[in-house]
Structure 1
């Protein structure tokens, strides 16, 4: 009697091959049903709402309301002209001894005013209460005649 050409191992390999083919066909059908092809432009559009979130619903446009010109108020605060040589008071908020400059916080306006160590009349350190005069320098306001209170 002749031996059968099909062995157990060959049958198992054939079963695995057929199973893989079936899985491949199922995946292809699933991709085909979930495909984006054939969808219209409206289905693919995305919009950004007023909060910056992406949404599929288009925004609703409101007609802008009318504003009367008389209701608009434009003004600038009046500046009080102080004489430039007026003596001001403040506190040294920052002072770098190695570089020789610092800043004084004005006690009235809370502005920082630059000063250089050449304009000091004493040995300064941070948090000292000082008097000074303000002049306009090339880069902004600058303090001169800085002396301790």
Structure 2
């Protein structure tokens, strides 16, 4: 049996879902910050990255995506 991974598995990307707390979200301006529970880092979130409506202190899950000024929270959902 060949020990190398198939070409499909070699290019598969695994996405880690992060969890955290909404520290701030301005609905008028459409942006805020989420504090990651595992690292205590805070990530910018824009209204375009939301799957659910969020407010301050909500518990959420999210993915990270490189933005213009660093990592942004995207695919943000309530947990």
Tell me the number of residue pairs that the alignment of Structure 1 and Structure 2 aligns: 67
In the alignment, does 2:44 pair up with 1:114?
Answer: yes
1:5-24 aligned at under 5 Å gives the runs none
**Structure 1 consecutive aligned stretches of length 4 or more whose deviation exceeds 3 Å:** none
RMSD over aligned Cα, in angstroms?
A: 1.4
Q: Which moved more, 1:97-106 or 1:115-124?
A: 115-124
Q: Structure 1 regions of 5+ residues with no counterpart?
A: 1-82
In the alignment, does 2:71 pair up with 1:141?
Answer: yes
Higher strand share: 2
TM-superposed CA distance for 1:122, in Å, is 1.3
Tell whether the 8 Å contact from 1:84 to 1:134 is kept in structure 2 after alignment.
Answer: no
Give distance in 2, aligned partners of 1:85 and 1:96. 27
Give distance in 2, aligned partners of 1:142 and 1:128. 17
Query: What is the TM-score when the length of structure 2 is the normalising length?
Result: 0.80
Query: What is the TM-score when the length of structure 1 is the normalising length?
Result: 0.43
Structure of greater relative contact order (alpha carbons < 8 Å, 6+ residues apart) = 2
Q: Structure 2 regions of 5+ residues with no counterpart?
A: 1-12
Give distance in 1, aligned partners of 2:50 and 2:74. 7
Give distance in 1, aligned partners of 2:50 and 2:65. 14
In the alignment, does 2:31 pair up with 1:101?
Answer: yes
Q: 1:91 to 1:84 in 2, by over 3 A?
A: farther
TM-superposed CA distance for 1:87, in Å, is 0.3
| SS at 1:118 equivalent | helix
TM-superposed CA distance for 1:85, in Å, is 2.1
